[in-house]
Amino acid sequence: MANQCAAADAPSTRPLITHVIFDMDGLLLDTEKFYSEVQEIILARYNKTFDWSLKAKMMGKKAIEAARVFVEETGISDKLSAEDFLVEREDMLQNMFPTSELMPGADRLIRHLHANGIPICVATGTHKRHFELKTQRHRELFSLMHHIVLGDDPEVKQGKPAPDGFLAASRRFEGAPIDPNNILVFEDAPSGVQAAKNAGMSVVMVPDPRLDSSYHQIADQVLHSLLDFNPSEWGLPPFDKPAA
């Protein structure tokens, strides 16, 4: 598919990017479907349905924050607490996470940036125990990251849209402090895009097609897939050959 740009500067006016930070869920790994599936099952008990307007409010947040949104927005907080929801959801997700697949273009882009000496890392709201399960089949690829900042990292006081995770990630690159203007973030979630902007960084959004396009507005670039990313537009080394 062709690139789709929203609120994007012309390439010539974009900052020179030297460092890259990746979100993980829904961006590198196809895990968001697991959350949706489990939440649909839980809501069905209360004769309610799970929709994308609710998912958009939950995506990218720390687990307990997303859980509070879930029970309050669906009107079931008097029947199911956020904490009990997380316990129930956890039981179902444990078996799903180890089957996580990579999103299209993730492997190609990570290996390309690493091979060309561009410092890369992950900043995710996922906690350590879930990270281990989700990346079980992809450990070699994730080992190419300079570092990984998780949602339960002590430096991440607040989840997205607060910038804590991205700021912590930027501080851990060699040669820090890195100018936020030289950092490019890849995100799929509205709260993550806002967190990147709050950190003073540029952000490429790769949203699920079911997400309302009103959430695209603050991203510097919006793509259908990581396969559509053109590194040259951001001053990064070009791919040797087009995506298959």
Catalytic residues: 23, 25
pLDDT at 19: 98
**Which residues have a Cβ under 8 Å from the Cβ of 195 and sit 6 or more positions away?**
60, 160, 161, 162, 163, 164, 165, 166, 187
Is 241 a residue whose pLDDT tops 90? Answer: no
| Backbone φ, ψ for residue 148 (5° rounding) | -135, 125
Comparison of pLDDT for 131 and 12, the residue scoring more: 131
Q: Please give the C-alpha separations between residue 162 and each of 45, 125, 176, in angstroms, as whole numbers.
A: 33, 11, 20
Tell me the per-residue pLDDT of 43-78, one tens digit each, with 9 for 90 and over.
Answer: 999 999 999 999 999 988 888 999 999 999 999 999
pLDDT at 3: 45
Confidence of residue 200 (pLDDT cuts 50, 70, 90): very high
pLDDT at 164: 97
Tell me the per-residue pLDDT of 87-140, one tens digit each, with 9 for 90 and over.
Answer: 999 999 999 999 999 999 999 999 999 999 999 999 999 999 999 999 999 999
pTM, whole model, 2 decimals?
0.89
pLDDT at 62: 85
Is 7 a residue whose pLDDT tops 90? Answer: no
Confidence of residue 12 (pLDDT cuts 50, 70, 90): low
Mean pLDDT of 189-193: 95
Mean pLDDT of 206-222: 94
pLDDT at 6: 44
pLDDT at 106: 98
Tell me the per-residue pLDDT of 143-156, one tens digit each, with 9 for 90 and over.
Answer: 999 999 999 999 99
Burial profile 225-239: b = 16 or more Cβ within 10 angstroms, e = fewer: ebbbbebebbebeee
pLDDT at 11: 54
pLDDT at 85: 96
Is 219 a residue whose pLDDT tops 90? Answer: yes
Confidence of residue 244 (pLDDT cuts 50, 70, 90): low
Mean pLDDT of 229-239: 96
| Nearest partner of 201 among 8, 61, 20, 9, judged by Cα | 20
SS3 readout for 61-103: CCHHHHHHHHHHHCCCCCCCCHHHHHHHHHHHHHHHHHHCCEC
